[in-house]
Structure 1
Amino acid sequence: MQSCTGAKDILRSRMRAAAAALTPEARRAGDRVLADRLLALPELKGAETVLLFCGVGTEPDTRPIAEALWAAGKQVLFPKCLPHRRMEARAVRGMEELVPGVFGIPEPGEDCPAVERGKIDMVLVPAVCYDRSRFRLGQGGGYYDRYLSGYGGATVGLCRDALLLERVPRERHDLPVERVLTESLCL
């Protein structure tokens, strides 16, 4: 019998390949639809402070979302990795304040102020893929699992239609997000 961790690793590899198989044009078109759908959410319109992720590789591009939120006068945060697989949210006023982080992922520089988790209205949660019950398969580091444990605000995932599954392997610590948006669905 395969362990849940082993099943997650296999699925992670399969879903990364599926994402990489999408054409750049299809990804860009999907990114525009995902951004529009997110920006139309009532929960986002009512939020003042939003934690985004910096989409890299085949992940959805969150830069247009950040730009729209800044234009709307909202406080935009990005995660900064800390030792022991922890992260914190830091306020960013522009993409130029992001610097290469531990994994090469852009993250806020040292001058960007940290914001307490309880002051964040919404977290955009990254994933390799999601399932129809709104559970996610992350990159495998557990950063968001730890960060979201005990978080009381809104959680939203962006997922390409091609990466939405019926069910992802789950462990006790895995938590669903409140909403998953794809190009064609809002779960």
Structure 2
Amino acid sequence: MITRGKQEIRQEKLFARSKISSELRQQKETKIFDTFFQHPGVQNSKTIALYYSIKNEVNTLLIIKQLFALKVNVLLPRIDGNNLKFYHITNLTTDLEFNLRFNLYEPLNSLPIINAEKIDVLVVPIVAFDQNNFRLGYGKGYYDRFLKNYHHLVIGLAFIEQLVPTPLSVEEHDVKIEIIISA
């Protein structure tokens, strides 16, 4: 049997994700949102780190806004060399700047950095995932490196179209995601 390369799987699943209609996407995101907030680990959290969604990812903006409303500390990542640092944000307008190199929004580096041990829940982006809860990201390894020193609840958000039918090829640095919420 010939196994497909990670890059081929990424391309296939990014394409599949981009083909989800607006109406269906909204329905799926509502289910993901509801499931996320029903999880006991989320309900009991004081500090949640997640990402600012890009490239047809599950929309995290509604989740961030709801977390603000619930008075949960919200952290977003900023790329620092080969690593991620998570910064406490309180406002989506004034606390972010656009990173042209990576084509995404990041928190200002003047905001407070929060250490991994203070994060109750970490929400990670997913390009593809398998039934064993291993994920493929965009291939830079930022989250894999962060997860080595993170020992609390990890949740991935994805559309079911991102599920691969066979187990992903797992390497030593790959970390299994505790919970993947998909619709």
Give TM-score, length-normalised by structure 2.
0.93
Equivalent residue, structure 2, for 1:39: 37
Equivalent residue, structure 2, for 1:181: 181
Deviation digits for residues 80-127 of structure 1 (CA, Å, limit 9, x no counterpart): 0011x2110000002111211240211101222100111101100111
Aligned-pair identity in percent equals 27
Equivalent residue, structure 1, for 2:91: 94
Equivalent residue, structure 2, for 1:171: 171
Alignment of 1:17-56 (within 5 A): 17-56=15-54
1:136 and 2:170 correspond: no
- Decide whether the 8 Å contact of 2:9 with 2:128 is kept in 1: no
Equivalent residue, structure 2, for 1:116: 115
* Residue 134 (structure 1) shift: 0.7
Structure 1 segments of 4+ aligned residues over 4 angstroms from their partners:
none
- Decide whether the 8 Å contact of 2:154 with 2:177 is kept in 1: yes
RMSD: 1.6
Aligned residue-pair number: 180
Whole-Å Cα distance in 2 between the matches of residues 135 and 120 of structure 1?
21
* Residue 169 (structure 1) shift: 2.1
Equivalent residue, structure 2, for 1:71: 69
Deviation digits for residues 39-95 of structure 1 (CA, Å, limit 9, x no counterpart): 111000011100011111210110110111111111000000011x21100000021
Equivalent residue, structure 2, for 1:158: 157
Moved more, 173-182 or 94-103: 94-103
Query: Runs of 5+ in structure 2 lacking a partner?
Result: none
SS in 1 for 2:5: helix
